[in-house]
């Protein structure tokens, strides 16, 4: 068993001093110490609104209404303190006692915007508008929710109403204009996509070869340098090594910029490796090796570096799987993308990357990555290059254990059903983990071969429907069956759906990311669906821990959680225009 198994000192209030000997031991310990966070996290994933006590329901009308107002005031305080789940709970109780007050729904919608439950926010804002057709905040929140899920056309009529109701409000006017501009840009991009001749990667490569387009590094450049490739054919592509990556990370930590030449060489190096990979990557965990699964990091570079110190760098016998959403929101997305891509270039077999819903061109236009690329590289060629490379990212990874699993009494009672009574590969009897950014599907019977058959290059962007969109966007729900998505894109899938899918495909558990969990991770659906989120104190405001999973050759999972780190004073989404930022609730 590996001695480099992660510990979780930062999560432990009981001062755990002895390093656990296996992922199994680590998992038990962190379950023991993270109870508070997990309880909070389950509030995020709860689908059922809260119900007030029988006593409160039995109160006379005026007293019930007074009580509802007190609950709303409590909700307001919690909201200001950044406790959006708890605030949402109080507004829900207020609504249950007095469903006639539009502000209760509108305030709950504000919480749902913060929790990225945009579908629910649209529902609540609509209820508020039905109760009061002149309630401009409710129109504004509904518009914000539509914009957040990239439906600016639906946001536009609401913003026009707000502008009419508040004709002197200059920021509303700016937001209306920003939305009209966004609609034009998205339509323009769609129109030119068809006629796009030369691809960004070809342009960049020929620039490197011919020394044009800003690819010559001046002597005054003081950052790390990539050596030329060994022969005439690869000279312009460069040759990466471990020392360069270490130096680059140090340079980034000190606020340094990498010369565009080297950034382009890194992105192309990753691109060549990614293009070779299938849509569903198979990874076997051989005896004595481990793989770490990392969730959303969202441009939080200083947390990302802290995380890498805990996982260790990828190497021949230690793999890292980045499960999507490493860009957007945080203002160091470029630095994270270049680090991940540099490792992909250096260690293509043990640096694995799944695409997230944010590795997509439309999301990048709204949530900051496009603006960050323009600011840090100049021009729009590098963003186009990233867009092209993101299309090459695999959509999922199947991790297979190679040793017999520990089961039943061999594992502590606190282990999930999924671990103690594992569903295994029918042929080998080994545990397998399906790792994907979002989750499962709107129909039954989807097989691993169906996923392998997705032509990700032909589809390009995930769009509004289909297996690719569902892999990137869907979320688990606590209720059985399937339901509409809380976030308004994709769908919710229940524990029965997960179990049936795992049985059909001989998969022990689905490991996914895509949603904040206060404890950094959460074992849901009896452990058959685990959420892993690796951006602690998400957007500098959520107060959550980050986490990663380590899987060994037997297929046992250990969890490590970690806290947010200090970072230079640059806000999330610093590269998004103010008007748009205000509508996205930042």
Residues noted as catalytic: 358
**Tokens describing residue 503:** 């049985």
- Nearest to Mn ion of 475, 523 (CB atom): 475
Per-residue x/- marks for Mn ion, 543-562, CB under 5 A? --------------------
Binding part of the chain for Mn ion, among 6-14, 75-83, 321-329, 446-454 by CB under 5 A, reads 321-329
**Is 431 within 8 Å of 401 (Cβ atoms)?**
yes
- Dist. CA 40–CA 521, nearest whole Å: 11
Q: How far is the CB of 559 from Mn ion (least distance, A)?
A: 20
Q: Which is nearer to Mn ion, 149 or 162 (CB)?
A: 149
Q: Output 81-89 pairs: Cβ under 8 A, ≥24 positions apart.
A: 82/541, 82/542, 82/543, 83/543, 84/111, 84/114, 84/115, 84/542, 85/40, 85/43, 85/44, 85/111, 85/115, 85/518, 86/43, 87/111, 88/112, 88/115, 89/43, 89/50
CA distance 575 to 223: 23
> Smallest distance from the beta carbon of 408 to Mn ion, in angstroms?
35
Minimum Å gap between C-beta 367 and Mn ion is: 10
Could you tell me what percentage of the chain is helix, strand and coil, using 3-state DSSP and rounding each to the nearest 5? Answer: 50, 10, 40
CB 296 within 8 A of CB 363: no
477 close to 483: Cβ distance less than 8 angstroms? yes
d(CA 109, CA 158): 15
Q: Which is nearer to Mn ion, 114 or 236 (CB)?
A: 114
Q: Residues 1, 14: contact at Cβ < 8 Å?
A: no
Please, which residue, 356 or 555, has the CB nearer to Mn ion? 356
State the nearest-atom distance from the C-beta of 533 to Mn ion, in Å: 9
Sites for Mn ion among residues 333-392 (CB under 5 A) = 356-357
If one asks whether residue 298 binds Mn ion (CB under 5 A), the answer comes out as no
Which range binds Mn ion by CB under 5 A, 23-31, 105-113, 177-185, 508-516? Answer: 508-516
Which residues 225-284 are close enough to bind Mn ion by CB under 5 A? none
Using the Cα atoms of residue 214, residue 219, residue 222 and residue 228 in order, give the sign of their dihedral. Answer: positive
- Residue 401: beta bridge partners? 285
Q: What count of other Cβ atoms lies within 10 Å of the Cβ of residue 443?
A: 9
Look at residues 553, 474, 466 and name the one whose alpha carbon lies nearest to residue 510.
474
User: Helix or strand or coil: residue 386?
Assistant: helix
Nearest to 341 by CA among 389, 291, 298: 389
Size of the site for Mn ion (CB under 5 A): 4
β 351-353/318-322 pair status: parallel
Q: Please report how close the Cβ of residue 352 comes to Mn ion at its closest, in angstroms.
A: 17
DSSP states of 264-316 as a string?
A: HHHHHHHHHHHHHS-SEEEEEE-TT-EEEEE-B-TT-HHHHHHHHHHH---BT
CB of 356 to Mn ion, least distance (A): 5
Complex with Mn ion: residue 117 or 260, whichever CB lies closer: 117
In the bound complex, which residue of the shown chain has the CB atom lying closest to Mn ion?
514
Stretch that binds Mn ion, among 27-35, 114-122, 125-133, 320-328 (CB under 5 A): 320-328
Of 25-33, 80-88, 225-233, 317-325, the window that binds Mn ion (rule: CB under 5 A) is 317-325
Helix or strand run (H / E) with residue 35: helix 35-45
Which of 527, 281, 288 is CA-nearest to residue 402?
A: 288
Least distance from C-beta 471 to Mn ion, angstroms? Answer: 11
Taking the least distance from each CB to Mn ion, the nearer of 175 and 387 is 387
Under a CB-based contact definition with an 8 Å cutoff, are residues 4 and 318 in contact?
yes
> Does 517 sit near Mn ion (CB under 5 A)?
no
Closest CB to Mn ion among residues 205, 325: 325
Instruction: Identify which of residues 354 and 581 has a Cβ nearer to Mn ion in the complex.
Output: 354
Does position 325 interact with Mn ion (CB under 5 A)? The reply is yes
Min dist. Cβ of residue 399 to Mn ion (A): 20
All residues at 6 or more sequence positions from 457 whose CB lies less than 8 Å from its CB, including other chains: 391, 392
Which residues are registered as beta bridge partners of 511? Answer: 435, 530
Q: Name which of 357 and 505 has its Cβ closer to Mn ion.
A: 357
In the complex, minimum distance from the CB of residue 296 to Mn ion, in angstroms, rounded to a whole number: 6
Pick from 329, 499, 514, 550 the residue near Mn ion by CB under 5 A: 514
By C-beta, is 515 or 523 nearer to Mn ion?
A: 515
Taking CB under 5 A as the criterion, which residues in 23-82 touch Mn ion?
Answer: none
Enumerate residues 6+ apart whose C-beta is below 8 A from 370: 364, 380, 383
Report how far residue 270's alpha carbon sits from residue 541's, in angstroms, rounded to the nearest whole number. 32
Task: Report in angstroms how near the CB of residue 64 gets to Mn ion at its nearest.
Answer: 40
Q: Find the Cα–Cα–Cα–Cα dihedral 242, 248, 249, 254, rounded to 10°.
A: 150
Contact residues for Mn ion, defined by CB under 5 A? 325, 356-357, 514
């Amino acid at each position: 068993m590996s001695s480099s198994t992660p510990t979780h000192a930062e999560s432990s209030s009981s001062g755990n001093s002895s390093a656990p000997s296996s992922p199994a031991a680590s998992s038990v310990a962190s379950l023991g110490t993270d109870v508070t966070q997990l309880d909070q996290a389950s509030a995020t994933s709860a689908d059922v609104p809260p119900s007030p006590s029988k006593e409160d329901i039995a109160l006379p009308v005026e007293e019930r209404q007074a009580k509802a107002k007190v609950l709303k005031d409590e909700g307001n305080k919690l909201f200001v303190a950044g406790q959006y789940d708890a605030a949402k709970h109080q507004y829900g109780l207020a609504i249950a006692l007095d469903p006639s007050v539009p502000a209760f729904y509108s305030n709950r919608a504000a919480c749902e915007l913060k929790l990225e439950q945009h579908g629910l926010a649209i529902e609540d804002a609509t209820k508020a508008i039905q109760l009061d057709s002149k309630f401009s905040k409710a129109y504004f929140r509904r518009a914000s929710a539509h914009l957040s899920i990239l439906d600016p056309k639906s946001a536009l009529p609401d913003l026009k109403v707000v502008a009419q109701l508040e004709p002197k409000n200059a920021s509303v006017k700016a937001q209306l204009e920003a939305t009209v501009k966004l609609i034009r840009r998205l339509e323009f991009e769609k129109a030119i996509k068809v006629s796009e001749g030369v691809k960004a990667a070809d342009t960049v490569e020929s620039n490197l070869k011919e020394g044009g387009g800003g690819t010559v590094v001046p002597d005054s450049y003081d950052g790390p340098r990539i050596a030329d490739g060994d022969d005439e054919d690869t000279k312009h592509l460069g040759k990466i090594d471990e020392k360069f990556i270490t130096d680059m990370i140090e340079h980034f930590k000190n606020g340094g910029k990498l010369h565009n030449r080297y950034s382009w060489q890194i992105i192309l190096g990753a691109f060549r490796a990614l293009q070779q990979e299938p849509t569903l990557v198979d990874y076997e965990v051989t005896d004595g090796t481990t793989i770490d699964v990392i969730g959303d990091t969202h441009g939080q570079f200083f947390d990302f570096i802290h995380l890498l110190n805990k996982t260790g760098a990828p190497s021949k016998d230690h793999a890292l799987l980045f499960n999507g959403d490493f860009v957007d929101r945080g203002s160091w997305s470029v630095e994270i993308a270049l680090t991940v891509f540099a490792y992909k270039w250096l260690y293509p077999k043990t640096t694995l990357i799944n695409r997230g819903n944010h590795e997509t061109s439309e999301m990048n236009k709204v949530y900051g990555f496009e603006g960050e690329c323009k600011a840090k590289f100049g021009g729009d060629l590098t963003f186009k290059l990233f867009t092209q490379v993101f299309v090459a990212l695999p959509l999922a990874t199947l991790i297979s254990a190679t040793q017999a699993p520990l089961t039943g009494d061999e594992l502590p009672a606190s282990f999930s059903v999924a671990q103690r009574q594992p569903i295994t590969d029918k042929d080998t009897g080994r545990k397998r983990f399906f790792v994907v950014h979002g989750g499962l599907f709107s129909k039954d019977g989807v097989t691993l071969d169906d996923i392998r058959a997705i032509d990700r290059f032909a589809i390009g962007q995930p769009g509004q429907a289909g297996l690719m969109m569902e892999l990137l966007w869907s979320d688990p729900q606590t209720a059985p069956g399937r339901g509409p998505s809380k976030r308004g894109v994709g769908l919710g899938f229940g524990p029965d759906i997960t179990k049936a899918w795992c049985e059909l495909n001989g998969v022990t558990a689905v490991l996914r990311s895509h949603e904040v969990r206060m404890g950094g991770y959460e074992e849901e659906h009896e452990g058959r669906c685990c959420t892993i989120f690796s951006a602690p104190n998400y957007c500098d405001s959520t107060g959550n821990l980050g986490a990663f999973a380590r899987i060994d050759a037997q297929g046992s999972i250990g969890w490590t959680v970690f806290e947010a780190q200090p970072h230079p004073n640059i806000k999330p989404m610093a590269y998004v225009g103010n008007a748009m930022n205000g509508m996205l609730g930042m």
